[in-house]
Structure 1
C-alpha cells in the first residue's frame, strides 16, 4: 500500500514534538526528520492553526503539543474498554467512602481527569472530566510520577514549572524527588492542600497487566484536622490494587 508522504511527515512531526521536553524548533524538525524546511514549515504552521501544536515565540519559535491533540487523546482514552471495567467499582467506592473519587492518566507533565464519581451529597471540586492539573501538586500526579519508569519520570519532571498555588505547594525538583521516595515507601500520595487551601486528596496507582502504571485513583474531600488521612491512603491503595487486578495485573510492586 502506498502511503501519503505528507501525512507520514505530519505524524512524524507530531511524534517528535511530543517527545521533546522543551519544545522543538523548525531546525530541530528538519534536522532530525530529514525534511526540507519549506515542507516542515507548511506542516507545522497548519498544525498550529488547527490547535494540534502550540507555538512559543522567542529567538526561535518552539512547538509543543497542543490542546486539540490532547482532546483527541482523551476521546481515545474514553473509548477504551478498561473504562467500562473500572467505572462500577469506583462509583461504588465513592458511595462507600462518601467522597469524590477521580481516575486520571498522564498527559505530558500533567494529569488528566478521565472519570469522576460523586457521593449523594458531593462537595464542589474544581476538577472536571477532561481538565488537567500539574503532576507535582496532585495526589494523582505524584503516584504516576513515583511509579513511572525512570526515563518517563525524568522526561515529565524536566518539563515541570513549579508554580506556588498555596504555601504548601512543592517548590522545586529536590522537594519533589524527596516526596516521590515517600510515595513509593507507603504506596499512596497526598495533595496536602497544595492545589487548593481547603482540599485534601489521597491517591494511589493503577497498573496494567504488564505492571506499568496506567493511571491513578484518588479521594478528594474538604480538609478536616480530625480525619485520619493515613488510613484513607491505605484504603485507596487497596482499591487501586483491586482495580489493577481487574485489568489483569498479577504481580507485586
Structure 2
C-alpha cells in the first residue's frame, strides 16, 4: 500500500497548470525523498505512465495514462449517448435492459433499466459476468478483431454455469460465427437457469466494439419468436447508438 500511495502522490503532482515537472518539482510536490521519487518516476516511464524529456530532464503524463483516461471518457460518453435509446427499449419491451463493457475476460454492467414486472431479471450496476455464456458477453467477444478474439478464447476457462453452458471452445467459435452473421447474440439459460437474453454490439468511430446492450427476461416470456423480434429491434437500437458515436457503416 505504501508503494501505491507513493505512486499516486507522484502522479497527482501533475496538473493543467504544471504539466511538466522536474525531479525537484516532483520531490517538493509529493513530499517524498528525492531518491524515491527518481526511482518511481523512472519505473513509471518504463511502463509509459510517465514520459521523460531527455533535453530538459522533465517528466510529464505518459501515453498509458492518457489511454486510461480516454477509456473513462469514452465510457461516460457511451452512457450519455445510449441512455435515451435504452430507456425507449425498456419502455417498448417491458424487460430489463443492460449495457456492458469488456474488462479483462469478463463483461461489466455499467448502465441499464430494470423491468417492473413481478418476474424479471435483476439489474446490478457493476456486476461482472462471463463472456462466453451471456448475450452481452458473446456480443462483444464475437466482434473483437480475429487475433484478439482467438487469444481471449484460448485464455477462457469455460466453467459450466448451467446445463446449457457452452464448455467446448470449438463449439464456442461456431457460436460466435453465427453471432457475427446474425448481428446479435442469444443466451437461452446458459448463464442463469430460466433466464433468456438477446445482446448486440455497439461500435465506436474506429469500428471497434466498445460495448453491448441486451434485453433479458424469463424464458417463458422470451420464446423463439420473441427472441428474433427483440433481435431485430436491438439491432436498430445499437445501430443508432453506434452512429451517434461516429460509426457510420451499416452492421
Given the two structures, how large is their TM-score scaled by the length of structure 2? 0.70
Rg comparison, structure with higher value:
2
2:125 pairs, out of 106, 129, 135, with 129
**The 10-residue stretch of structure 1 (164-173 or 228-237) with the greater mean CA deviation from structure 2:** 228-237
Match of 2:175 among 170, 175, 179: 179
Contiguous gaps of at least 5 residues in structure 2:
1-19, 24-37, 50-67
More displaced stretch, 145-154 vs 179-188: 145-154
| CA distance in 2 between partners of 1:76 and 1:112 (Å) | 14
Would you say 1:252 and 2:250 are equivalent positions?
Answer: yes
TM-score, normalised to structure 1's length? 0.69
Q: How many angstroms apart in 1 are the aligned matches of 2:75 and 2:198?
A: 26
Match of 1:213 in 2: 209
What does the per-residue CA deviation read over 1:178-209, in whole Å, with 9 as the maximum and x for residues that have no partner?
10010011110011100111100000010101
Gaps of 5+ in 1: 16-71
Please tell me the root mean square deviation across aligned C-alpha atoms, in Å: 2.6
Residue by residue, what CA displacement relative to the aligned partner does 1:39-72 show, whole Å, maximum 9, x if unpaired?
xxxxxxxxxxxxxxxxxxxxxxxxxxxxxxxxx9
Larger mean Cα displacement after TM superposition, 219-228 or 3-12 = 3-12
Change over 3 Å in CA distance of 1:82–1:202 after alignment to 2: same
Match of 1:236 among 234, 237, 242: 234
C-alpha distance 116-123 of structure 1, shift in aligned 2 (>3 A): farther
| Residue 97 (structure 1) aligned to one of 88, 93, 118 | 93
Encode CA deviations 1:202-239: one digit per residue, 9 max, x unaligned: 00010101211111000000002745112221211121
1:1-253 matches, within 5 Å, as 1=20, 2=22, 5-7=39-41, 9=43, 76=72, 80-121=76-117, 123-126=119-122, 128-224=124-220, 226=223, 228=225, 229-253=227-251
**Partner SS state of residue 214, structure 1:** strand
Q: Distance in 1 between matches of 2:139 and 2:118?
A: 24
Q: Distance in 2 between matches of 1:157 and 1:12?
A: 30
Distance 1:11 1:235 in 2: 47
Task: Report the alpha carbon displacement of residue 175 of structure 1 after superposing the two structures with TM.
Answer: 1.0
The corresponding residue for 1:29 is: none
- Which residue of structure 2 lines up, in the alignment, with residue 56 of structure 1? none
